[in-house]
């Protein structure tokens, strides 16, 4: 049983195949990606963000998006969302029969200009027809908001600024907003303050997810703060794949295995077979030619 005041179950939104692999310098073969996704589904992950329909020039690692989607054996009961940066990306997703998409915005002007080549206002205007058309086509739309806690150019980001941009994305029609600690500088108190600020705006925890990076070793502490507040959707990346290229020495995304171990220790259900997930991440680490940064993967793999 979970501790009093905590939920019985959480949803883990797996981002390894997209966010985790997109910054890999060496191209990962599409066969490996498909096998990775299938192994994740077999381990009990029911929401797996698989790719992005972005122009290959910007993210060469995801140039195989259409081949991957075409060949992927989509299991019943498993959700396979994709990131769409603009209307062209949405067209590609709809052409393949996908009905769960995500957009990726920024809470700061500096990152919006570097990542989207637009101001925040211009990016919201770009997303508006994407969300409208997606909803008209029967799609669920998730909004990612990056730099919610700190920005390498602007420093700590004011709470009201994050809430304002996040509210704009939800007002467009996003069904969920994922709050990203892109450079891993968030702390437990900051998490609570930000969630309180959203609540004061009338945006409840049921509409929010959290996406933590473990740069300063705070991802699980921050997750507990969000959990206590009432958030029940957590982003994570199998094996701790991925990271932010803008944060020096960043250790990447919160590892799914570390999050699952943590949740299970609290008596909270995830629906995930931890042993199968560890085996999957070890398998992927072998293919990438380096050990997984996940402490749980390392501990359980060494104990075999």
Q: 296 in a domain, yes or no?
A: yes
Q: What is the pLDDT of residues 104-141, one digit of tens each?
A: 999 999 999 998 899 999 999 999 999 999 999 999 99
Q: How far apart are CA 210 and CA 235, in angstroms?
A: 6
Nearest alpha carbon to residue 62 among 102, 100, 104, 20: 20
| Average pLDDT of the residues of the chain | 95
According to the model, what pLDDT value does residue 5 have? Answer: 87
Question: What pLDDT sits at residue 246?
Answer: 54
- The CATH number that applies at residue 125 is 3.20.20.70
- Give this prediction's pTM: 0.96
219 occurs within a structural domain: yes
List Cα–Cα distances, 251 to 155, 183, 214, 294, in angstroms: 19, 9, 6, 10
Mean pLDDT of 78-93: 97
Task: Find the domain containing 176 and state its range.
Answer: 11-302
Task: Give how many domains the chain has, as a whole number.
Answer: 1
For the chain, percent helix, then strand, then coil, each to nearest 5? 45, 15, 40
The whole-number pLDDT of residue 250 equals 57
CA 264, distance to chain mean position in Å, is: 20
Name the band, by pLDDT with cuts 50, 70 and 90, for residue 57: confident
Instruction: Specify if 2 maps to a domain.
Output: no
Residue 67 structure tokens = 């081949």
Is there a domain that residue 139 lies in?
yes
Question: Look-up: residue for tokens 């994740």?
Answer: 40
| Any domain includes 4 | no
Give the pairing of strands 150-151 and 155-156: antiparallel
pLDDT at 45 over 60: yes
pLDDT at 302: 80
Confidence of residue 62 (pLDDT cuts 50, 70, 90): very high
Question: Could you tell me if residue 6 is inside a domain?
Answer: no
Query: Domain for residue 81, yes or no?
Result: yes
Catalytic residues: 244
Is there a domain that residue 1 lies in? no
């Amino acid at each position: 049983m979970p501790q009093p005041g905590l939920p019985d179950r959480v949803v883990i939104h797996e981002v390894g195949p997209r966010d985790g692999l997109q910054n890999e310098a060496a191209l990962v073969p599409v066969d490996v990606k498909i096998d990775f996704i299938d192994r994740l589904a077999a381990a009990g992950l029911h929401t797996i963000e698989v790719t992005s329909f972005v122009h290959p020039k910007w993210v060469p690692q995801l140039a195989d998006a259409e081949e991957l989607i075409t060949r992927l054996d989509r299991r019943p009961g498993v959700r396979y969302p994709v990131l769409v940066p603009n209307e062209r990306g949405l067209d590609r997703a709809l052409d393949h029969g996908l009905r769960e998409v995500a957009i990726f915005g920024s809470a700061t002007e500096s990152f919006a200009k570097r990542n989207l080549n637009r101001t925040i206002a211009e990016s919201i205007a770009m997303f508006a027809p994407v969300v409208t058309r997606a909803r008209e086509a029967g799609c669920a739309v998730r909004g990612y908001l990056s730099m919610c806690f700190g920005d390498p150019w602007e420093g700590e980001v004011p709470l009201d600024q994050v809430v304002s941009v996040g509210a704009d994305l939800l007002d467009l029609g996003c069904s969920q907003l994922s709050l990203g600690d892109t450079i891993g500088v968030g702390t437990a108190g900051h998490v609570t303050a930000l969630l309180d600020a959203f609540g004061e705006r009338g945006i409840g925890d049921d509409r929010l997810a959290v996406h933590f990076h473990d740069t300063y070793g705070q991802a699980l502490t921050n997750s507990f703060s969000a959990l206590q507040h009432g958030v029940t959707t957590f982003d994570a990346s199998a094996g701790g794949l991925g990271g932010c290229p803008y944060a020096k020495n960043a250790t990447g995304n919160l590892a799914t295995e570390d999050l699952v171990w943590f949740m299970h220790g609290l008596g909270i259900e995830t629906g995930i077979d931890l042993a199968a997930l560890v085996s999957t991440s070890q398998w992927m680490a072998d293919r990438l030619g380096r050990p997984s940064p996940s402490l749980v993967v390392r501990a359980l793999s060494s104990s075999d």
